Amino acid sequence: MEAANASDSHYMGCIKAGIIAHMQGYAPQVSIEFARKTLEGHVRPTFLEVEEMVGSLE
């Protein structure tokens, strides 16, 4: 139960970092990088993986 709560907390922290960066006027790519950097190394996607995911949205 506590592990699930910790996981959810990290997930929400990632979203929070991205939204705050965007609200402070950073470019979307930079906001994504702020959010990505909050994730732990074993779950953090590489920069290239993020670029591919964002590119597939366009």
Checking phi first, is residue 27 left (phi over 0); if not, alpha (psi -120 to 50) or beta? Answer: beta
Range of the domain at 7: 2-57
User: In the prediction, which pLDDT does 8 show?
Assistant: 81
Q: Is 26 exposed, middle or buried (0-12, 13-18, 19+ CB in 10 A)?
A: middle
Q: What is the DSSP secondary-structure string of 7-56? A: HHHHHHHHHHHHHHHHHTT--HHHHHHHHHHTS-TTTPPPHHHHHHHHHH
Q: Give the model confidence (pLDDT) of 15-30 as tens digits.
A: 999 999 999 999 999 9
For the entire predicted model, the pTM comes to 0.76
What domain count does the chain have? 1
> For residue 43, is pLDDT > 90?
no
User: How many Å from the N-terminal Cα to the C-terminal Cα in the chain?
Assistant: 38
